[in-house]
Amino acid sequence: MAREATPEDRTAAEPVARPSLGERRRTALRLDIAREAVRLFTSQGVTGTTGEQMAQAVGISARTLWRHFPTKESCVLPLLAAGLDAAMEQLRHWPPHTGLLDFLDRSWSHGTLLAPDPAVLDLIRMTPAEPALRSVWLQAHDDALPVLGALLAHRSGRSPEDLRVKVHAATLNGALRAAAEDFAQRFGDAPDTAAGELTACLRTALLAASEGLPY
């Protein structure tokens, strides 16, 4: 007997409205600012970088930059959010009745696994020594949690408010974050030559998550 369509099913089936030209330009500008912020943070440190320098690098006024972001560290959030959005989009292609590890292996073998963004890796590598950047990195994952929860709820036929769905989403979210941090720290200098290592990091993190607590 077919499962009755839920509100989540109907929402997932509805076409997504294309953003307006103004929204696309705003998104593009925010990403430009984020990339310039990472470049400057990497080359001269977070403390040594000013909002005025970031604005100048993008070709806007400092006043315009501060209309988009409350702090210089928060300028990197769109880059992190874009990476997580891309990961969520890839998970939407996770076939039914296929384990996540099998889907990961298949994506790697078919060359469809997302390539690591060098700018994001540079940023992640800075987070242990920069509490404000660490806060933004954690915020990006916290913002992605409801999206991941909705995706898992739709896949399982449960409500996003189901405690099991929340725990599964939090577990998967944490595994993805830990894998990204491990990969960035160990292979961030050469992401193009270590793409296979990203799969290995993801596998290790997901296996650890699926094993449950060791006590």
pLDDT of 63 higher than 80: yes
Residues 65-74 as b or e (16 or more Cβ within 10 Å = b): beebbeebbb
> What average pLDDT does the structure give for the chain?
88
pLDDT for 105-153, tens place per residue?
888 888 788 788 899 999 999 999 999 999 999 999 999 999 999 999 9
Structure tokens at 150: 């909705």
pLDDT of 12 higher than 50: no
Q: Which of 70, 201, 188, 171 has the alpha carbon at shortest distance from 122?
A: 188
pLDDT of 213 higher than 80: no
% of residues, the chain, pLDDT over 90: 65
How big is the chain by its Cα radius of gyration, in Å? 19
pLDDT band at 194 (very low <50, low <70, confident <90, very high): low
pLDDT band at 7 (very low <50, low <70, confident <90, very high): very low
Residues in the chain: 215
Residue 177's pLDDT is what? 96
pLDDT for 158-170, tens place per residue?
999 999 999 999 9
DSSP structure string for 66-99: HHH-SSSGGGGHHHHHHHHHHHHHHHTT--TT--
CA-to-CA distance for 150 and 145, rounded, in angstroms?
Answer: 9
* 3 state DSSP class of 46: coil
